[in-house]
């Protein structure tokens, strides 16, 4: 049976547990997304970012999109998030991780689980994503997942307050 947003299953990887983000994550979300080095690499988060923004994420984005909190093994504490934003036929992959955990392959491990979920469990015909040109680490994550570049576009970055050069990516199963 195809899962629904309300019955979204938890996902597990060798090092990570992915679960639905919840009210108890507000402090961690504010601390991570409020970090300039995270916010400036994301399209749709304001800066500064406060508890009311985290509440908007929990009340408006989480129920409408396939978003998971990234947690380490048995620890419940949120260290990042990964999600699929539904599009007409496909969905757009997005993700962010606390800087303290960068460069250990965690984003690749978490996104791979969600990509597999989208293609295998939801039966999506493909996925889209994108990254700002000044964020090559994210481009590398997408390349490791098998995404390929389809072009360059200017894309709004809410935190920076203007359009910035970005690369569109697509994944076909
Ligand atoms: C992008 C982000 C999710 C990466 O998380 P991560 O757990 O460090 O990613 P991984 O360790 O799985 O992979 C990072 C890859 O980028 C590479 N990398 C890191 N910095 C790099 C740089 N400046 N230039 C090129 N490659 C770089 C790493 O070496 C690694 O590749 P490798 O496995 O081939 O060595 C994290 O930096 C983040 O949350 N950034 C802020 C939010 C964000 O950018 N979200 C994505 C928006 S499109």
Shortest CA distance to 54 belongs to which of 30, 36, 81, 19?
30
Range of the domain at 92: 11-125
- The pLDDT value given to residue 28: 98
CA-proximal residue: ligand 1, atom 34 (nearest): 140
CA of 104 to the centre of ligand 1 (A): 9
Has residue 26 been placed in a domain? yes
* Structural domain contains residue 105: yes
Nearest to 166 by CA among 92, 106, 114: 92
Rounded to the nearest whole angstrom, what is the distance from the C-alpha of residue 135 to the centroid of ligand 1?
8
Residue 171 resides in a domain: no
In the structure, what pLDDT confidence band is assigned to residue 85 with cuts at 50, 70 and 90? very high
Q: Is residue 89 part of a domain?
A: yes
- Digit-coded pLDDT (tens) for 134-164: 999 999 999 999 999 999 999 999 999 999 9
Considering just the CA atoms, what is the radius of gyration of the chain in Å? Answer: 15
Q: Is residue 20 part of a domain?
A: yes
Sign (positive or negative) of CA dihedral 32, 36, 38, 39: positive
Q: What is the CATH number of the domain that holds 19?
A: 3.40.630.30
**Per-residue CA distances from 163 to 30, 93, 130 (Å):** 24, 20, 14
Report if residue 158 sits inside a domain. Answer: no
Calculate mean pLDDT across residues 43-48.
96
pLDDT at 93: 98
Residue 94 placed within a domain: yes
Q: Write down the residue that tokens 């019955």 correspond to.
A: 7
Reply yes or no on whether the pLDDT at 173 is more than 90: no
Q: Which residues of 77-100 are buried (b: 16+ CB within 10 A; e: fewer)?
A: ebbbbbbbbeeeebbbbbbbbbee
Instruction: Give the residue whose CA is nearest to atom 20 of ligand 1.
Output: 137
Domain presence at residue 6: no
**How many domains does the structure of the chain reveal?**
1
Which atom of ligand 1 is least distant from the CA of 102?
8
Q: Determine which residue's CA is closest to atom 35 belonging to ligand 1.
A: 103
């Amino acid at each position: 049976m195809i899962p629904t947003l309300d019955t979204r299953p938890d996902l597990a990887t060798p090092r990570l547990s992915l679960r639905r983000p919840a009210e108890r994550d507000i402090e961690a979300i504010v601390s991570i997304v409020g970090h300039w080095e995270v916010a400036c690499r994301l399209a749709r988060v304001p800066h500064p970012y406060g508890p009311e923004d985290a509440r908007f994420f929990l009340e408006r984005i989480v129920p409408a999109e396939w978003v998971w909190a990234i947690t380490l093994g048995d620890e419940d504490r949120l260290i990042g998030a990964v999600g699929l934003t539904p599009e007409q036929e496909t969905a757009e992959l997005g993700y962010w991780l606390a800087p303290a955990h960068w460069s250990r392959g965690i984003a690749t491990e978490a996104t791979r689980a969600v990509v597999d979920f989208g293609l295998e469990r939801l039966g999506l015909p493909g996925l889209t994503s994108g990254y700002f040109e000044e964020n090559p680490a994210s481009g590398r994550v997408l390349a490791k997942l098998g995404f390929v570049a389809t072009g360059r576009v200017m894309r709004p970055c809410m935190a920076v307050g203007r359009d910035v050069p970005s690369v569109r990516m697509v994944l076909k199963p």
